[in-house]
Structure 1
Amino acid sequence: MTTATEARSGKSHRDENFPVASHLIHPRHRGPILAFYTFVRAGDDVADNPGLTPERKIALLDGLADALTGAGAADPEAAPLKAALAERGLAPRHALELLDAFRMDARKSRYADFDELMHYCRYSAMPVGRFVLDVHGEDPAATWAASDAICAALQIINHLQDCGKDYAQLDRVYLPADLLATHGVEVAALGAERASPALRAVIGTLAHRCLDLLHEGRALPDLIEDTRLAMEIAAIHRLAVLLARGLTARDPLSEPVHHGKAAFALTALAAAGASLARRPFRRRHAPRIRGARP
């Protein structure tokens, strides 16, 4: 296996836990967002491919970066995003930061504490929200901090839902080592059919941290000028709150955390509708977000 295309998993934006450029997004913005997703998916598939050595993963990720910036040979996984960025006059910064996160995944499989996990989220999650906001021409000073909080929560929720699979398939553990130690949990507990009460306590603690982050970012839909994007983010935020609450009560090793597609759709539509109803009364200044980083 020698190319990023050959490392693809076959997963698409329709397989993600949260909406990616749903039809709430205006058609003129969906193309660049989906091109971004395609590029990022290619990098993520490289990092998660168990048949590649860390060195080969890094080489492929470097090749994707060079193809996107024009510093190296063209790559079909990078071409659509490169064209979209040129058309919009946008820099490749956010996509390159995500490649940095995938390089971390290639080299690193454990996280010492929550701060270290948040540093990972700074590169693996926050650039996604920032890119979507940039595509829509939103003000970074008003929106990035709240977006960062939501994106970090989404990333950690995904980690918690997949904690058993990540350990079994990739020997990758995103649950902070100090939190596991506090509850007396060995990493091997992630390989069990059911989570022990102590592991459930670890997962619950992190789920509550996600709820805190989502609370910090709750004002984002009202800070966004584009109405359709505001509705999309309101829907994602509400779905994330439901999943985080579910993780405080359910065992991701032995049972699904998410609700059915119909329930998710109804929840998303209700949140989007509520955001639309608030538009005439929305706040137009950014809140202070604890721990926000550039």
Structure 2
Amino acid sequence: MKKKAELVEGLTTQLASVRHAESLTRALAGMHYENFLVASVLLPRRLRQPFFNVYAYCRIADDLADESSSPSVATERLQTLRQHFDAAIAGSPTSNLFLALTKTMQEFDLPPDPFHHLLDAFEQDQIKTRYQDFDELLHYCQRSANPVGRIVLKLADCCNEETESLSDDICTGLQLANHWQDVGRDFAIGRIYLPMDRWDEFGVDESMFGTPGEAAQLSTPMPLRRMIEAQCDLAQQYLDRGLSLADRVPKWIAADIKLFAHGGLQTLAAIRKVDYDVLAVRPKVSKTVQIKLIAKAMLRLL
């Protein structure tokens, strides 16, 4: 953790050379195991560093949102990050993070909107803890997840209306799968993403989640499990529909697309394996399954 803190400090409080800045984004990326990072292994070498530069921004913003001492502190830090981002795209980078990121944005003609939308979603998490209906949740996904997919399409030079729509399906499916995997974790910090307009249909009420800030209960009540089951089925529909994106992009990026989507499908499979008992245990995709997915992706067998 100390090493990570030092890297983040070097990225956000110092301004050196592009070469040094990119060495820091590479190092930060190497400390995390995530679909976005694993996918970079399958990319042409010329695209890996741009991936790392984008990832560093996403990682730091996400950590500010989730690891700050309070929602108000998180909001203040995110707003400061936004100010530095705006200064960087105006031609005045203030730190190594934005020195590396703006280089990539200029090289690949990346628009600023997706980066702003991510901050919008992280800021929303500090003030909005309940979602009235699925449309509200989708609007959140449009800013918390879909921008990443659109950035990847731009990096791969295959961004158009059709590929964007299918990418949005995959990213929304991934975000939903992560929400249903983390029902317990989210409630521990006061957040519920399950659409409230369907609670009555399944007989769900807030007492079934437990008490915020306390240890998870021993078992997830059956009505809540059945609602999570329905939401998992919906998430799978998004992922299944988005998989056809792999047929509409260059072959060298198709493996990454499949890895993203199958990673989400395996998360849903892990939730089903524990019979949706997500309060008692956080479902996880095993290392064995992860390695098999990566191997199949590398061999173009997904």
TM-score range, shorter chain: 0.7 to 0.9
Which sits farther off after the overlay, 89-98 or 260-269?
260-269
| Equivalent of residue 81 in structure 2, options 38, 58, 64 | 64
Other-structure match for 1:134: 154
| Equivalent of residue 108 in structure 1, options 108, 128, 137 | 128
Q: Which whole-Å deviations, capped at 9, do the CAs of 1:143-167 have from their partners, x for residues lacking one?
A: 1111000000101111111110111
Other-structure match for 1:231: 255
Which sits farther off after the overlay, 41-50 or 146-155?
41-50
Give the CA deviation at 1:12: 5.5
Other-structure match for 2:19: none
Other-structure match for 2:54: 36
Gaps in structure 1 of 5+ consecutive residues: 277-294
Give the CA deviation at 1:38: 1.2
Which sits farther off after the overlay, 128-137 or 252-261?
252-261
Which structure has more helix as a fraction of its residues?
2
User: 1 CA distance for matches of 2:33 and 2:194?
Assistant: 21
Contact in 1 for aligned 2:65/2:123 (Cα 8 Å)? yes
User: 2 CA distance for matches of 1:223 and 1:48?
Assistant: 35
Give the CA deviation at 1:257: 2.5
For residue 192 of structure 2, give the secondary structure of its aligned residue in structure 1. Answer: coil
Please tell me whether residue 96 in structure 1 is matched to residue 96 in structure 2: no
Contact in 2 for aligned 1:203/1:247 (Cα 8 Å)? no
Q: Which whole-Å deviations, capped at 9, do the CAs of 1:95-144 have from their partners, x for residues lacking one?
A: 11101111111111111111111100000000000000101111322311
Q: How does 1:235-246 map to 2 (within 5 A)?
A: 235-246=259-270
Other-structure match for 1:212: 237
User: 2 CA distance for matches of 1:77 and 1:211?
Assistant: 35
Q: Which whole-Å deviations, capped at 9, do the CAs of 1:268-294 have from their partners, x for residues lacking one?
A: 433554568xxxxxxxxxxxxxxxxxx
Other-structure match for 2:182: 162
Contact in 1 for aligned 2:29/2:52 (Cα 8 Å)? no
Q: TM-score, normalised by structure 2?
A: 0.79
What number of residue pairs does the alignment pair up? Answer: 267
Q: Which whole-Å deviations, capped at 9, do the CAs of 1:53-91 have from their partners, x for residues lacking one?
A: 42x333322221221221687244433212221233322
Please tell me whether residue 45 in structure 1 is matched to residue 63 in structure 2: yes
